[in-house]
């Protein structure tokens, strides 16, 4: 009888060890939790929004700088024209030239009608 009791006890131990082995089930945990995925998604959205915002500002700055350079070129061109006109005015307002032109037109100088003008 003792042999039979030993065999029954061995069977119970084998069954219990099998049950213990079967109970140990390893559950694989996902690499990222749902909250981590949401945080990562929000971070990526912020990064993309920031990049788009920076690029749009750079485009606006480029356009404004281009407009400024065009206006500066126009101003420089107008300054050249103004300087040329000032030089031409100086040449045309030369008293000798005026006197020569007056003689051509038949005008004479009357000293009684000349008045001195101070600048």
pLDDT value at residue 40: 96
Question: 82-87 long-range contacts, Cβ below 8 Å, gap at least 24?
Answer: none
pLDDT at 119 over 60: no
pLDDT value at residue 19: 58
| pTM recorded for the entire structure | 0.52
pLDDT band at 24 (very low <50, low <70, confident <90, very high): low
pLDDT at 23 over 70: no
Mean pLDDT in residue range 7-35: 73
pLDDT value at residue 4: 67
Spell out a b/e string for 50-84, using b for 16 or more CB atoms within 10 Å of the CB, else e.
Answer: eeeeeeeeeeeeeeeeeeeeeeeeeeeeeeeeeee
Q: Would you kindly state where each structural domain of the chain is located, as residue ranges?
A: 67-107
pLDDT in tens, 37-87: 999 999 999 999 999 999 999 999 999 999 999 999 999 999 999 999 999
pLDDT in tens, 98-113: 888 888 988 887 777 7
């Amino acid at each position: 009888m003792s042999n039979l009791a030993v065999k029954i006890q061995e069977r119970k131990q084998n069954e219990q060890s099998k049950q213990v082995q079967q109970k140990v089930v390893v559950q694989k945990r996902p690499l990222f939790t749902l909250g981590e995925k949401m945080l990562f998604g929000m971070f990526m959205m912020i990064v993309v929004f920031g990049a788009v915002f920076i690029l749009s500002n750079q485009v606006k700055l480029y356009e404004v700088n281009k407009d400024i350079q065009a206006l500066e070129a126009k101003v420089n061109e107008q300054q050249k024209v103004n300087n040329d006109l000032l030089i031409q005015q100086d040449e045309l307002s030369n008293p000798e030239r005026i006197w020569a032109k007056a003689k051509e037109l038949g005008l004479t100088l009357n000293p009684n009608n000349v008045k001195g003008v101070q600048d």
